[in-house]
Structure 1
């Protein structure tokens, strides 16, 4: 859906659901709302940047995995994998919708200490219990399957090559927006500057244009800007924009097989990108919160940290050429690295779909579906996402996810 599919003026003065943020989470929520047979209200999606130039979705590396430390996150990604690979069926059999597959090169987590290996073992037990096909590999077993790694320091590896790897997020994103719009959802280009509330309920939002739009329920789907949006309603949430850097490169000696998304103990990750190209990602050691409009690259990180790390782990990557580079943002939940979903306990028609800490794209099908169910029924009808509700933050009870890249 091109930017001109956004309108500059909404059709109505009041909507049953207003969604602030039209990127992956906002689009997922809007589309899944149109799937709820008991919802027949008006939906408005408002985005300050209809080009998506300054959002996490526009800078994603577009991968999916089941290797999480919590069972709920495993289930969420399993639904995501099913949705991606059966997109046309989920879209009602529409012949215009492409048939998608996940490029299953898998994720390879590497541990260089016994403590790190114990973390992989504990997560492996959770994943296996949920039906994932994760395998723990000794260094010798890794070398037999992937002989290009240098493994002298490695204690244990963990890999799953079923429903783990790259997927075409843009096709899903495009069809959520296109289908939602065809079903009557409005996408408005505008910036919310105030959230007006009284007596425990959001009543309306005010735009920079001066327009005020009434709403029955409001969804905060504003990615790295989530805390700014929540603050307009007098709510604090522990979500910060954290900068993440990505490079694509070619190698003078390409590998003879696909490279899993390798999570190195150094903190660098690297994976297959094209047939003979690769992608690496990292962040700075300090990793501060940044301005949500800050996308400036730090080129020293590549020379000082990323290239040395990947060349050490994969000696064939000693001679490589950077093709592209960019910076994006994680919407980092600094409380426990998990999503914040569901309603605010006091402002009860204000809903969160925030703080995904780098795994939001792959979780968007389940999170959009769950948020739509809550908006319609006040409860979940598929996966129970209540462990992610805001009230755990107010109570100081984290629901921790350790598998954060």
Structure 2
């Protein structure tokens, strides 16, 4: 029976970054990543939009994303001269009406206080900066001047995974079917193939499967899949300025951003509208009925667009408060969480992996204090809400 000092369930950016930073920070024990889909096509990472932003309401989220941006801007130093994740630093633009402006201003103040580089634009300044924008009914917008944009998520995750494997981390293809718990410790795991592994520490980086994995240990974790659609648009009338647009979020939640010669867009549903079937089928009526009109109203050039393709992704959604759960279980100390990012996992994966590595190596956080993101708030039903979920 194979034995590993650290077993990481989930090989997306969170799990791969955890393995990488363990080795980078000097961990000498054996490490394995267990991943059911080694085509890397269906996880949260590969199907994300690759966004990087500091426009959050929670200081920890700002810090997590700032760490990720620093990594992305220094990929060649971190991973070698060929490393590239196609970072486009075009910013985020979060728009607000008069009723939403107080929250936008409050969030902006938190962001500036924690080192984000953005600016509030109002009235003529907003319209002048973005001539493709219909500013009617808008009170203002918050625009990221630097450190915001998007990357190719597949490439970023692959850099961490390959670098971890180059440092001796094992990759095991398989699906966890059971956990062996001896009192206050996890002693091993059983795979659906019939193979069993012994582990010293278990890291739950299982994405949408995080809640199911925790349940195998008798732990309640309110993290599961939420279905999201991303539509690819052709807009023949698009100007050069529109192709240089930031990722823009209108007050109702519709977002868009440039993607090569095209654009992508989407809208997260309200709680009562959430799809109940977590397959990979795209609902094109969602675009026609809920997105297109609002998009064209805010960006008149989008009045004539064509959906040329689309895909479905699944958020690893934390139903308590849409913030990540990071750190050890208070009673099962060798079971560590890195879950529930609710759409932020790609940008927060590098810092989360570093944080979990610090916990394993040092028994505490050294870079970012993520104590408030611990599992205790799940136990106590004490949500720490993030106001800026897209």
Query: CA–CA distance in 2 between the matches of 1:327 and 1:172?
Result: 20
Corresponding position: 1:353 with 2:338: yes
Cα distance, 1:370 vs structure 2:
0.4
Query: CA–CA distance in 2 between the matches of 1:168 and 1:270?
Result: 16
Cα distance, 1:170 vs structure 2:
2.8
**Given the superposition, is the C-alpha separation of residues 283 and 101 from structure 1 closer, same or farther in structure 2, using an over 3 Å criterion?**
closer
Match of 2:4 among 1, 15, 31: 15
Aligned residue number for residue 183 of structure 1: 167
Aligned residue number for residue 55 of structure 1: 43
Query: CA–CA distance in 1 between the matches of 2:164 and 2:276?
Result: 33
Match of 2:66 among 78, 83, 88: 78
Match of 2:239 among 230, 241, 255: 255
> Could you give the per-residue CA deviations for residues 108-163 of structure 1, whole angstroms, max 9, x where no partner exists?
1111232x100100011111112222111113211111122112111121111201
**Correspondences of 1:193-212 after superposition (within 5 Å):** 193-212=177-196
Aligned residue number for residue 339 of structure 1: 324
Aligned residue number for residue 304 of structure 1: 289
Query: CA–CA distance in 2 between the matches of 1:289 and 1:216?
Result: 38
Query: CA–CA distance in 2 between the matches of 1:256 and 1:310?
Result: 18
Q: Tell me, yes or no, if the aligned pair for 1:139 and 1:157 is still in contact at 8 Å.
A: no
Aligned residue number for residue 131 of structure 2: 147
Cα distance, 1:281 vs structure 2:
1.2
**Correspondences of 1:362-401 after superposition (within 5 Å):** 362-401=347-386
Cα distance, 1:364 vs structure 2:
0.8
Match of 1:237 among 217, 221, 244: 221
Q: Tell me, yes or no, if the aligned pair for 2:49 and 2:153 is still in contact at 8 Å.
A: no
Cα distance, 1:80 vs structure 2:
0.9
> Could you give the per-residue CA deviations for residues 312-361 of structure 1, whole angstroms, max 9, x where no partner exists?
11111111121220110111111111100111111111110000011110
Corresponding position: 1:288 with 2:279: no
Q: Once superposed, which parts of structure 1, at least 4 consecutive aligned residues long, lie more than 2 Å away?
A: 94-98, 168-172, 283-292
Q: Tell me, yes or no, if the aligned pair for 1:16 and 1:217 is still in contact at 8 Å.
A: yes
Say how many residue pairs are matched. Answer: 387
Cα distance, 1:101 vs structure 2:
6.5
Corresponding position: 1:28 with 2:10: no
The unaligned stretches of length 5 or more in structure 2 are: none
Alpha-carbon RMSD: 1.5
Corresponding position: 1:44 with 2:28: no
Cα distance, 1:256 vs structure 2:
3.1
Query: CA–CA distance in 1 between the matches of 2:124 and 2:181?
Result: 61
Aligned residue number for residue 4 of structure 1: none
Query: CA–CA distance in 2 between the matches of 1:95 and 1:270?
Result: 32
**Correspondences of 1:111-130 after superposition (within 5 Å):** 111-114=96-99, 116-130=100-114
Structure 2 residue matching 1:67: 3-state secondary structure: coil
The unaligned stretches of length 5 or more in structure 1 are: 1-11
Cα distance, 1:282 vs structure 2:
1.5
> Could you give the per-residue CA deviations for residues 24-54 of structure 1, whole angstroms, max 9, x where no partner exists?
11111111111122x1011111111111232
Query: CA–CA distance in 1 between the matches of 2:188 and 2:362?
Result: 21
Query: CA–CA distance in 2 between the matches of 1:391 and 1:289?
Result: 29
Aligned residue number for residue 5 of structure 1: none
TM-score w.r.t. length of structure 2: 0.96
Aligned residue number for residue 9 of structure 1: none
TM-score w.r.t. length of structure 1: 0.92
